[in-house]
Structures are given as C-alpha cells and as structure tokens.
Structure 1
Amino acid sequence: MLFLALSILLSVLLLLNFRIFPRYQVDTFQAIVFNYPVCFLTGLLLLPAGQSFTIDFSQTWTWLAFGLGVGFILTFMLSGASTQRMGITATSLANNLSLVVPVCFSLFVFKTGGKVFDALNYFGLVLAVVAVGLSTYKPESASDPSAKRGRLGANVLLPIGVFLFYGATNTMINYMNLHYIPSTDKTIQVTLTMVIGAIVAGLLMLIIRLIQGKERIHPRNLVGAVSLGIPNFLSFYTLVMALSAFGGNGAFVYPLYNIGVILLAALMAALFLKESLSTANKLGLGLAIVAISLISWQELASLRV
C-alpha cells in the first residue's frame, strides 16, 4: 500500500503543477515535452547499484515500451483537442472513467491472481465509476471559452478517443508489468525505455511547431519541466511498483489509485486553492470513500488482525 499511497500523492503534485502553470505563464505543451528528459535523468539516478541503462532492440518489450511512450504524448494531445472543442467536463469524465478499461482487462482477460473478487468488491467497482463521474463533474459556464456550441459531428469522437487512449495506455502498463518486468529491479529499465519513446515523439512535435512558428522556447517553461518531470517519473514508477506488489491486479490498484487522486486533489484544492465543491462533487467524494472500503475490505480487515 505504501507504493500506491506514494503514487497518489505524487500524481496530485502533478495536478498542482498544471494548476499553477498559468499563474507563472508556463506553457503547458513545452513543459510536458521537456519534462520527459527530466524524467529520464530522474530514472538514471534511481538505477540500482551495478546497473546501467541499455536498449536491447531484439526484445519485444523494448518496442512495446517505445509505443507506450508515444501513446503518452498522443493521449495528452488528444486531451487538449477534446478540452478545446468539447469542453472540460466531457474530457475530464472521459479521462477518469477510463479506469473501467484496465479493470475489465485485469479481471476478464489477464485474470490476475493477486486478489479474488467477491460481490462486495464488484459492487465497490461499480460505485467507483459512479463516484469518479460525480466527483469530477463541473457544470460549464456559458462564458467558458472551452465550452463550444455545435458539438455534433467528428468532435463527438474526441472524448471517446480520450477514454480509449487513457484506458489503452493503462491497460498496456498492466500488461507489461505482468509479462515483461520479471523483477522489481528491472522496473526502472523498462520505465526509462518508455520515457525515451515519449522524448522522441514530444521533441518531433515541438520541432514541427517551431518550424511552423507556433512555438517560442522560454526559460520559464524549462523550470516548469523540472517541477513536472521529477514527480511525473516517480508517480509512474511507484504505480508500476504498486501493481507488482498486488500481483499485477489492475482491478484492485486502478480504482483505488483514481479515486485516491480525486479525494486528495479535492482536499488540496479546497485547502490551498480555495476551490468550492458542488453537491454532486461532495456526493461523489462520499461514494469514493465507500467504494475504497468495499474494494479493499479484505485488506482493511487483515490490518485489524
């Protein structure tokens, strides 16, 4: 549970970074592109003694890791387009509700044996989906420039794409954890390979935008990349370690991770950013606590023994 708790905390730090970027005029796109080299350097510092990072192109997992890294960047770009054309609410819900994809794959395809689900656990999963939807719901103001009218046509596919891409990347993380990370000391090696895929894809996008005259690099964006990159790598690393600790059981880890991030983020936003919650949000947070209890009731019961 320690790795899961650390991953939740570090993920909330990521959200806080994004929240304060506009205050310091940090360009989010550039910060994300440059945060991946920072991630790579962070991972190198965490390599176990005696290990060095190498890339073996003869291994299947190397290419899967590259593809996953590219998926990270593409998912971000898709989220940005969906936010601009379909609004914040639809995109946020699609992002958070995507947890059902890795959960279903973990239960019915991978059939991980780290935890046997009973009726209470399954009911907790259903409540988790409802809780995520309610706790992330934000009514859009008519003056919100991100809330566009005339949302029919191809734009409707954008939040669906966000749902599928987030679900696919999380499912692939779980799959690689089950089949291509033989021991925890290899976790950083695999993670660094994923980061390289993200670095290559991100820099290519940035170069194209620079050539088109759509971007100008500012030092403040590099500072933002450092504050983003360190918790980004550590949050991903601890999430993979949490999956390993629970036998690759994404059906257990991902719901707790998602609603844990939502609960902690809501608390931090209320305390430090003075953000208010709607009745639906408060109901969602309450259901999230119930969902956590139901999903992990066996683990909670064992703590009392």
Structure 2
Amino acid sequence: MIYLVLSILFSSGLFVIFKYFGIYKIEVLKAIFINYIVAFILGFLFAERSINVTSIPNQPWFLGAVFLGALFVSIFFVMAMTSQKNGVSVASVAGKMSVVIPVLFGVILYQESVTFLKVIGIIIALIAVYLASSKEEKSTHKNVSLLFPILLFFGSGAIDTTLKFVEVNYVPKEDVSIFSGILFGIAAFFAFIILSVQYLKKRKPFGVKNIIAGIILGVPNYFSIIFLIKALQTKGFESSTLFTINNVGIVILSTLIGIVLFKEQFSTKNKMGVVLAILGIVIVTFAT
C-alpha cells in the first residue's frame, strides 16, 4: 500500500509543477525533454544491479520500453492538442477516465475478481473523476472534432495497460529502475527529434529556465513511475483495484492542492466528485 500512496503523492506533485510551468511561461516540450533525461539518469543511479549497456537491447522488456517511450511523447502531444482544441476540462476528464481500460484488461487478461460491490465502486469512481475534473470554462470549443479526446482516452489507457503487461511478463523486481530509466531515455530520444524539427523551422535558444524546470520535473516523474510499478508488483493487489485507487486518488489530491495552493474555484459538482471519489475508493478497496 505504501508504494501506491507514494505513487499518488508524486503523480499529484507533477500537476503542481505543470501549474507553475504556466505561471512562469515554461516551454513545456523543452522541459519535458530535460525531464526525460533526468529520469533516465536516475534510472541507472538507483539501479539494483549493474548491467552492460550493450546488452540492454537484448533484455526481454526492451521492446516494451521502446513502445512505452514512444507512447509517452505521443500522448503528451495529444494532451496538448486536446487542451487547445477542446478545452482543459475535456483533456483532464479524457485522460483520467481512461482508467476503465486497464481495469477491463485486468479482468480479461489476468482473471481478476469481478464482484457486484467492486463494479459499483468502479462506476462510482468513474463518475467521481468526471465530476471532480470538470471545470466551468468560458470557451469557444464548440462543434470541434472529438478525435483528440478519443485518442487521449485510448492512449492514456494504453500506457497503463502496457505498463502492467510488460511488468507482469518481462520486468523482474531488480530491473524496475533500469527498465524505467530506459523507458524515459527512449522518450527523450523521440522528444529530441520533435525539438530538432521545431528548431529547424524556428531557431530559438533553449532557455535556462526550461532546463531548470525540466530538472525539477524529472525527479517526481521518475519516482511516480517507479512506485506505480512497485505497487503493481505487490502480491494480493489486483491491477483493476490499484489503477482505480491510483487515478481517483490523484484526482482528489490534485483537486485539493489546486484549492489550497492556487485558490482554484471549487464548484458544487467538484465537491460531489471528491465525496464520491472517497466513497468509490473505500468500496473498491474493501470489495471482495
């Protein structure tokens, strides 16, 4: 349980950092690139065993790391496009509601338990995520394509589902840090390609503040993945339960942080969402 709590804490911290990115006008893709490099380095610093670099492509989890690294960058781009074209609320809800995908795969692929109480808890949790994430936005995002929200929904779900699949089948406990480091390294490679293309189109200095922001982001990002994987490896903890608690926990904590730290508006709908989220977590946790 401690790994799950730590995953929620570090993941929620990412939302706080991204909030400050907006305040200090940080160029997000550049900071994300540096963040991936920092997480890559941390993966080897905290490695539980030594490994020959030349043998990494031969590791059973390598292809999974390549796929996830590409997904990380792709979904970041889709999230940005969804926020711009459909609004921040739509992006937030689409990303968090994707928890239903790893939950379903957990039941189908790993024959995880399905009880009436558990199903009710997950449904309540999904409703809670929607209510807690919804913000009243004055926007002109009307009659726009649902392509990007749909891609974000399935892409975010694919990341969690693939992470669980690779962890179960290919990643031994002593390789968690190295696997995570390589994953971030590959994501950094793809981000570098995108940045290079952008630089060729518009030559612009990288910016010291973007580097500092990336370093600050990299540490909690690394640990959020590490603790999530370690939580997934905890015996007796089904992934359908874990992903539900993790996502809803992040929604609750990030919402409360937004209220206390950034004085964000908290509507009646949001309050109902938080209450239902707590109820959903309790039901899912104790469902048998």
Same fold per superposition (TM over 0.5)? yes
Q: CA deviation at 1:60?
A: 4.4
Which letter maps to 2:178?
A: Q
Q: 2:240 maps to which residue?
A: 251
Q: Secondary structure at the match of 2:124?
A: helix
Instruction: For residues 141-175 of structure 1, give each alpha carbon's deviation from its aligned partner in whole angstroms, at most 9, with x where no partner exists.
Output: 14xxxx43431xxx321100000100111100010
Counterpart Cα distance in 1 of 2:178 and 2:52: 6
For the pair 1:178 / 2:171, whether they are aligned, the reply is no
Alignment correspondent of 1:52: 51
CA distance in structure 1 between the aligned counterparts of 2:114 and 2:235, rounded to whole angstroms: 13
- Aligned pairs (5 A) from 1:1-305: 1-48=1-48, 50-52=49-51, 54=53, 55-112=55-112, 116-142=113-139, 147-151=140-144, 155-182=145-172, 184-213=173-202, 215-246=204-235, 249-297=238-286
> How far apart in 2 are the matches of 1:71 and 1:188?
19
Q: Distance in 2 between matches of 1:103 and 1:193?
A: 26
What code does the residue aligned with 2:143 have? G
In 2, are the aligned partners of 1:177 and 1:248 still within 8 Å (CA)? no
Q: How many residues align?
A: 287
For 2:109 and 2:235, the matched residues in 1 are separated by: 17
**SS of the counterpart of 1:107?**
helix
User: In structure 2, the residue corresponding to 1:245 is in which secondary structure?
Assistant: coil
Deviation at 1:241, TM superposition (A): 0.3
CA contact (8 A) 2:102 2:161 kept: yes
Shift of 1:216: 3.3
Does structure 1 conserve the Cα–Cα contact (< 8 Å) formed by 2:121 and 2:283?
A: yes
Distance of 2:117 and 2:14 partners within structure 1:
32
TM-score by length of 2: 0.94
Aligned-residue Cα RMSD (Å) equals 1.7
User: Structure 2 vs 1, CA of residues 7 and 15 (structure 1 numbering), >3 Å: closer, same or farther?
Assistant: same
Partner of 1:302: none
Q: What is the CA–CA distance in structure 1 between the aligned matches of 2:277 and 2:52, rounded to whole Å?
A: 40
Q: Deviations over 1:240-293 (max 9, x none)?
A: 000101457320111100111111112212211111211111101000011011
CA distance in 2, matches of 1:289, 1:193: 35
Write the distance in 1 (CA, Å) between the matches of 2:235 and 2:124.
Answer: 21
* Matched residue SS, 1:4: helix
TM score, norm. by length of structure 1: 0.89
Question: Which sections of structure 2, spanning at least 5 residues, go unmatched?
Answer: none
Q: Is the 8 A contact 1:246 1:253 kept in 2?
A: no
Give aligned-pair identity as a percent: 28
Task: Please report how far the alpha carbon of residue 59 of structure 1 lies from its aligned counterpart in structure 2 after TM superposition.
Answer: 3.9
User: Cα–Cα, structure 1 residues 131 and 215, in superposed 2: closer, same or farther, change >3 Å?
Assistant: farther
